[in-house]
């Protein structure tokens, strides 16, 4: 099952502005680091508006946020956090900006770094890439054909388009970027009207959420007035549409393009692509073999054979499938090391968490124990859930956990992995920060494996 990991992270996405920077760009970065270190907030605000990568690191592996935290510059910290900088980034010692502020006893700076927005407080769990979807899926609307037909034609309705399961996107200007290079292009009904007679797959993704009032969850506008978003397959006619919105291109997938979407756009992409992939693959009834048609705004396929038993009662063959898989960071019996492996399809020198698909009638915990022992020979005891990540290639739900090993001898199954070994905390920090002496590294931050590894480093932080 080790190939499951490599299917997810075929390429590390490097988004550091400093990589290969020109002399002028290098000088600009130095100005940014100096300003963050000295507390010159006006200069910092100017430079992070499209001139530098807010998460760039200096030659010591420190970000601007870390430098501001080291010196207790609360105004700079606030400015950087407002622009969406990564406060979980690690320096070569495995410290975050919060760790640094705490170590140097800058209480005010630590409090800012520890604080959360109202939205974050309502969502305490780790949110992985592809999981942030700000649309209200409006499931209650899916069977209302009159509402769907009317809503599809509204001027406020927007369409997200795919060709061969690849989305049409627009590159975000550098001055407006936070955490992603692309956003999904939006089209109107008039843009796609000509394509509807060919009966393409059209899926209701959901409605935009209006800004909440003082009472969380209470909309300021009537529900039916909220802008609605659909996904549509335009394979074969994309050239007739791309010119209708300036700057539209087809995004390559699965890697690295899909990993460079804005996080909130990645969640919408995940929903849309998973459903379109299902419709593309399951055109015939699994029960009787007859043709099927799209139903319930794209969330169901109905058999065209009226006598088919799939039309009587509820059957999982009629609804989109989601394949659950486990991905686990295995911690050594003494808690000082973690087990990482590499499969034959991994990029050279990349190590990641072990992973595998669940089998029928199997619990999360038992899947974890079975897969780890099959691949590495290591036996696992306690298993703690960490977080999940939808993976839209085509429709996997990755269930992340931290597993406690009860044995330490590694016996690699060469049919599953090329290698598996224990890494100490210090070595894992090198992997996370691209400082490993052998050039080894782990998947990028968009991958749940990266988050699992990082969470263990945070848990074992020793300043």
Are 251 and 347 within one domain?
no
3-state helix, strand, coil in the chain (%, to 5): 35, 20, 45
CA angle 392, 395, 401 (to 5 degrees): 90
Domain end among 81, 115, 149: 115
Q: How far is CA 177 from the centre of its chain?
A: 17
Residue 71 maps to a domain: yes
Domain annotation covers residue 8 = no
Q: 354-357 and 380-391 as β-strands: parallel, antiparallel, unpaired?
A: unpaired
CATH (domain of 63): 1.25.40.20
Least confident of 15-19, 227-231, 312-316: 15-19
- CATH number at 365 reads 3.90.79.10
User: Are residue 263 and residue 151 in the same domain, yes or no?
Assistant: yes
Tokens of 245: 């919105």
Instruction: For residue range 325-384, list pLDDT tens digits in order.
Output: 999 999 999 999 999 999 988 999 999 999 999 999 999 999 999 999 999 999 999 999
Beta strands at 228-233 and 300-303: parallel, antiparallel or unpaired: unpaired
Per mean pLDDT, which range of 90-94, 258-262, 448-452 is the poorest?
Answer: 90-94
Question: Does 369 lie in the same domain as 424?
Answer: yes
Residue 133 lies in a domain: no
Residue 436 lies in a domain: yes
Tokens of 210: 């209006």
Q: How many domains does the chain have?
A: 3
Mean pLDDT for the chain overall: 89
Q: Greatest CA span in the chain, whole angstroms? A: 75
**Sequence-ordered list of residues with C-beta below 8 angstroms from that of 28, at least 6 positions apart, any chain:** 47, 51, 52
**C-beta separation of 319 from 295 below 8 A:** no
Task: Give the closest residue to 357 by CA, choosing from 301, 389, 396.
Answer: 396
Question: Does residue 214 carry a pLDDT above 60?
Answer: no
Same domain, 143 and 220: yes
| pLDDT (mean) for 273-301 | 97
Instruction: Answer yes or no: do 78 and 194 share one domain.
Output: no
pLDDT beyond 70 at 5 = no
**For position 210, what pLDDT does the model report?**
61
Q: Are strands 323-331 and 396-405 parallel, antiparallel or unpaired?
A: parallel
Residue 188 shares a structural domain with residue 264? yes
Query: pLDDT: is 7 or 293 the higher one?
Result: 293
The answer to the question of residue 385 being in a domain is: yes
Are 57 and 63 spatial neighbours (Cβ–Cβ below 8 Å)?
yes
Residues 266 and 395 in one domain: no
Residue 11 pLDDT > 90, yes or no? no
Residues 105 and 63 in one domain: yes
Those residues with Cβ within 8 angstroms of residue 350's Cβ, 6 or more apart along the chain or in another chain: 9, 12, 342, 440, 441, 442, 443
Q: Is residue 295 part of a domain?
A: no
Q: Looking at 255, 281, 307, which one is the last position of a domain?
A: 281
Q: Mark whether 85 and 209 lie in a shared domain.
A: no
* 193 shares its domain with 236: yes
Which structural domain, as residue segments, surrounds residue 269? 139-281
- Joined together, the tokens standing for residue 233 give 């397959």
Q: In the predicted model, is pLDDT for residue 18 greater than 60?
A: no
> Is there a contact between 447 and 373 (Cβ–Cβ < 8 Å)?
no
Smallest Cα–Cα separation from 340: which of 277, 252, 431? 431
Instruction: Report percent pLDDT > 90 for the chain.
Output: 75
Token pair of 134 as six digits: 């700000």
Identify which of 407, 414, 418 has the alpha carbon closest to the alpha carbon of residue 337: 407
Domain-embedded: residue 55: yes
Domain boundary among 252, 281, 310: 281
The answer to the question of residue 351 being in a domain is yes
Question: What CATH number is attached to the domain comprising 243?
Answer: 3.90.79
Whether the predicted pLDDT of 14 surpasses 70: no
Q: Which two tokens stand for residue 66?
A: 């870390």
What's the pLDDT band for 463 if we cut at 50, 70, 90? very low
Judge contact between 60 and 18, C-beta under 8 A.
no
223 pLDDT above the threshold of 90: no
Question: Do 269 and 148 fall within a single domain?
Answer: yes
pLDDT in tens, 33-83: 999 999 999 999 999 887 888 999 999 999 999 999 999 999 999 999 998
Instruction: Provide the 8-state DSSP code for 335.
Output: S
Tell me, what's the pLDDT at 459? 83
Transcribe 122-147 into DSSP letters. Answer: H--S---TT----SB--GGGTT-HHH
Residues 85 and 33 in one domain: yes
């Amino acid at each position: 099952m080790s190939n499951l990991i490599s299917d997810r992270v075929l390429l590390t996405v490097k988004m550091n502005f400093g990589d290969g920077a020109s002399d002028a760009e290098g000088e600009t970065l130095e100005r940014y680091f100096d300003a963050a270190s000295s507390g010159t907030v006006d200069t910092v605000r100017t430079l992070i508006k499209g001139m530098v990568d807010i998460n760039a690191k200096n030659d010591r592996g420190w970000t601007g946020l870390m430098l501001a935290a080291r010196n207790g510059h609360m105004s700079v910290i606030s400015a950087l956090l407002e622009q969406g900088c990564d406060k979980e980034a690690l320096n070569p010692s495995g410290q975050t900006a919060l760790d640094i502020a705490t170590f140097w006893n800058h209480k005010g700076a630590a409090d800012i770094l520890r604080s959360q927005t109202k939205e974050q407080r309502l969502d305490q769990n780790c949110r992985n890439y592809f999981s942030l979807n700000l649309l209200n899926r409006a499931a209650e609307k899916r069977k209302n054909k009159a509402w769907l037909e009317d809503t599809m034609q509204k001027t406020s309705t927007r369409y997200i388009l795919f060709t061969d399961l690849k989305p049409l996107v627009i590159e975000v200007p550098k001055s407006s970027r936070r955490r992603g290079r692309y956003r999904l292009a939006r089209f109107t009904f008039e843009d796609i009207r000509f394509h509807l007679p060919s009966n393409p797959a059209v899926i209701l993704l959901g409605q935009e959420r209006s800004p909440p009032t003082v009472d969380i969850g209470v909309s300021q506008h009537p529900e039916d007035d909220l802008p609605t978003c659909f996904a549509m397959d335009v394979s074969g006619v994309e050239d007739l549409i791309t010119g209708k919105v300036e700057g539209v291109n087809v995004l390559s997938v699965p890697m690295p393009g899909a990993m460079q979407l804005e996080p909130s756009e990645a969640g919408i992409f995940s929903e849309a692509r998973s459903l379109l992939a299902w419709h593309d693959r399951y055109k015939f009834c699994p029960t009787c073999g007859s043709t099927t048609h799209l139903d319930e705004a794209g969330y169901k396929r109905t058999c065209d054979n009226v006598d088919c038993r799939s039309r009587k009662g509820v059957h999982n063959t009629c609804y989109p499938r989601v394949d659950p898989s486990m991905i686990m960071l295995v911690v050594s019996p003494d808690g000082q090391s973690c087990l990482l492996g590499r499969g034959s399809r991994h990029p050279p020198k990349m190590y990641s968490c072990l992973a595998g698909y669940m089998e029928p009638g199997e619990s999360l915990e038992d899947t974890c124990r079975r897969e780890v022992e099959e691949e590495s020979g290591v036996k696992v005891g306690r298993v703690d859930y960490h977080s999940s990540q939808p993976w839209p290639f085509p429709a996997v739900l990755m269930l992340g956990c931290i597993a406690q090993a009860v044995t330490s001898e590694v016996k690699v199954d060469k049919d599953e992995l090329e290698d598996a070994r224990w890494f100490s905390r210090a070595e894992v920090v090198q992997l996370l920060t691209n400082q490993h002496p052998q050039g080894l590294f782990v998947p990028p931050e968009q991958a749940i494996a990266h988050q699992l590894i990082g969470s263990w480093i945070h848990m074992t932080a020793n300043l």
